[in-house]
């Protein structure tokens, strides 16, 4: 029995069709193993037709998967009808942000293909074992990481992009290099969404302080570096 059939029972019919479509396009082979299971998504390890390792992120279709969806749709200004279309929009939004971040030189898994509720991207890991999130793997240079990550926040912010869920859970440590993942809660930066940027910055700053790196840049200073106008009228 092909391995993707083994997983068929965890997917709804629509998702299963989408997986078959990506397989027939050569973007993925069988889903070789689960890497991560969240409330809202599954991530699998697979290969593309050139035998390159890929990660396959499948957003779940079940009702109630995203409690925050209405708030995010309002902030994103997307208004598609029907649950499946909304999840598809949600996934496309994530993929687009990841593409833009990748294009700007931010360390993110290479976005390869988006189809409906599925994203195929470069696999961050060695052989078939995935890199661990920074919360579990502290083997890195905190000063160098803080420099890179705070710079990524600024670079993205200047392009009006907020990751929206930055934390040591969503930063993978590949041989000492940080990779930002999970753009599923990304938002366009404006005064209306400034609190989400502030949250990202404070989570990162607090985390670095908690692991003994004290030279974090104050939140307001980072925001000012992105765009001083964001703080006007405060
Ligand atoms: N490109 C990748 N390469 C290796 N491992 C990955 C990759 N993408 C995701 N993972 C693993 O899968 C886990 C879940 O991925 P991710 O954070 O994108 O989804 P999630 O937390 O379920 O997100 P969501 O908020 O959309 O539910 C990650 O913590 C990471 O361990
Ligand atoms: Mg995550």
Closest CA to 113 of 52, 44, 22, 20: 22
pLDDT of residue 212: 97
**Has 182 been annotated as catalytic?**
yes
The pair of structure tokens assigned to 23 is: 């397989």
Burial of 28 (0-12, 13-18, 19+ CB in 10 A): buried
149-192 pLDDT, tens digit each: 999 999 999 999 999 999 999 999 999 999 999 999 999 999 99
Provide the 3-class DSSP secondary structure of residue 106. coil
Q: Which ligand is nearest to the CA of 58?
A: 1
Integer Cα distance of 62 and 193 in angstroms: 27
State the DSSP code for 227.
-
- How many CA atoms does the CB half-sphere of 111 hold within 13 Å? 24
Q: Ligand 1, atom 20: nearest CA belongs to which residue?
A: 38
pTM over 0.85: yes
Say what the alpha-carbon torsion angle 46, 49, 50, 55 is, to the nearest 10 degrees. -20
Positions in the chain short of pLDDT 50: 1, 4
C-alpha 170 – ligand 1 centre gap (Å): 7
Domains of the chain: 3-129 (3.30.200.20), 131-231 (1.10.510.10)
Q: Which residues does ligand 1 sit against, CB inside 6 Å?
A: 35-36, 38-41, 43, 55, 57, 109, 121, 123-125, 130-131, 133, 170, 181-182, 184
Q: How far is the CA of 40 from the centre of ligand 1 (A)?
A: 10
């Amino acid at each position: 029995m092909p391995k993707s059939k083994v997983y068929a029972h965890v997917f709804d019919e629509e998702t299963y069709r989408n997986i078959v479509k990506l397989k027939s396009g050569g973007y993925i082979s069988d889903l070789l193993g689960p890497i991560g299971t969240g409330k809202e998504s599954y991530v699998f390890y697979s290969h593309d037709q050139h035998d390159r390792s890929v990660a396959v992120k499948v957003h779940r279709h079940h009702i109630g998967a995203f409690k925050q969806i209405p708030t995010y749709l309002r902030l994103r200004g997307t208004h598609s009808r029907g649950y499946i279309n909304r999840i598809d929009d949600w996934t496309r939004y994530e993929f687009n942000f990841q593409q833009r971040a990748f294009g700007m030189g931010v360390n993110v898994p290479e976005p390869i293909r988006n189809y409906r509720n599925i994203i195929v991207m470069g696999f961050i890991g060695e052989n078939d074992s995935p890199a661990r999130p920074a919360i579990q793997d502290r083997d890195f240079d905190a000063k160098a990481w803080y420099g890179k990550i705070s710079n990524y926040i600024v670079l993205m912010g200047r392009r009006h992009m907020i990751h929206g869920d930055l934390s040591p859970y969503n930063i993978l440590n590949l041989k000492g290099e940080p990779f930002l993942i999970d753009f599923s809660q990304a938002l366009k930066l404006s005064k209306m969404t400034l609190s989400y940027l502030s949250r990202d910055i404070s989570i990162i700053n607090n985390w670095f302080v908690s692991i003994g790196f004290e030279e974090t840049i104050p939140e307001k200073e980072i925001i000012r570096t992105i765009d001083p106008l964001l703080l006007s009228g405060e």
